[in-house]
Amino acid sequence: MDDDGAPRPVIWMRDPSPRRGPRPTHTRQEIAQVAMSIADEQGLDAVSIRAVAKELGAGAASLYRYIDSKADLYDLMVDAATAEFSLPNAPSGDQRADLTTIGNRARAVYQRHPWAITLSSNASWGPHVQAYMEFFLAVLKPTGLNARQQLELIAHFNASVATFAAHERQQTDQPGNPEALQARMMHLKQIAENPELPHLSTAVATMLNSTPEDTDPDKLFRRSLDRLIDTIPAQTDG
């Protein structure tokens, strides 16, 4: 709260340059990049104003001239991560192509920054988030969905892509104990042979007989993304 009892404006509504004290030596972008690096390498729990200040070679107190709280730090991180989507200024007019572009770039961002989807739901919308939302809403405008439906669809789309990226990263970072994996395979084979579970056994058998082509991450993502896009109403003519 400010002195008059009003809520403290979010960081995007405040002057980025401290009004008092020495001339600023850091920018919001620099602060965001350091915080992101900490989160990428050590996990989100390692991010703090003190940790960021240390990496910048500054005192924690000096950082409060730029940000008020960890919430400000998170807002900066989310906006900086969203900037990495690097979307065009406007949709191409080809709805599927535009949605595919969003999905592919979102996957790359969530692979690099698995914490981004966690922070996004409570983050205030910085300039890059606003640009991303404007682009996505413009892509969805011809579908006939109302504004609320469009926002819900964007949330679902982002969550679906982020979940896929998180699974990919987990498989890479934690391949699993070979003996444990072998035990799981034995169990899956047992399920595949269970006549009391006709639907599940067929599905598991198909999974076990998958070829490298079936399990290639890029091709699997493209199939998953295509199915996700197919749930979105087609672009209307005119």
**Tens digit of pLDDT per residue, the chain (238 long)?**
555 667 889 999 998 775 566 666 788 999 999 999 999 999 999 999 999 999 999 888 888 888 989 999 999 999 999 999 999 999 999 999 999 999 999 999 999 999 999 999 899 999 999 999 999 999 999 999 999 999 999 999 999 999 999 988 877 666 667 787 788 889 999 999 999 999 999 999 998 888 877 778 899 999 999 999 999 987 655 4
Helix (H) or strand (E) holding 192: helix 178-192
Same domain, 52 and 98: no
Same domain, 66 and 179: no
Domain end residue (candidates: 82, 111, 135): 82
Give the closest residue to 50 by CA, choosing from 35, 36, 39.
Answer: 35
The residues, any chain, with a CB within 8 Å of residue 222's CB and separated by 6 or more, are none
What CATH number is associated with residue 182?
A: 1.10.357.10
Please state the domain count of the chain: 2
Same domain, 146 and 216: yes
Same domain, 121 and 25: no
Domain end residue (candidates: 82, 100, 131): 82
Start-to-end CA distance of the chain, whole Å, equals: 49
Same domain, 39 and 51: yes
pLDDT at 18: 58
Same domain, 150 and 42: no
Report if residue 15 sits inside a domain. Answer: yes
Same domain, 60 and 93: no
Report if residue 112 sits inside a domain. Answer: yes
Same domain, 137 and 171: yes
Same domain, 107 and 91: yes
Report if residue 121 sits inside a domain. Answer: yes
Q: What is the pTM of this model?
A: 0.85
Report if residue 117 sits inside a domain. Answer: yes
- 153 and 232 in contact (C-beta within 8 Å)? yes
Same domain, 163 and 184: yes
Same domain, 109 and 170: yes
Which structural domain range is residue 207 located in?
86-230
- 166 and 118 in contact (C-beta within 8 Å)? no
Report if residue 4 sits inside a domain. Answer: no
pLDDT at 210: 81
Report if residue 237 sits inside a domain. Answer: no
Report if residue 3 sits inside a domain. Answer: no
- DSSP character string of 69-113: SHHHHHHHHHHHHHHTT---SS--S-HHHHHHHHHHHHHHHHHH-
DSSP code for 237: P
Domain end residue (candidates: 60, 82, 104): 82
Torsion 216-219-221-223 (CA) sign: negative
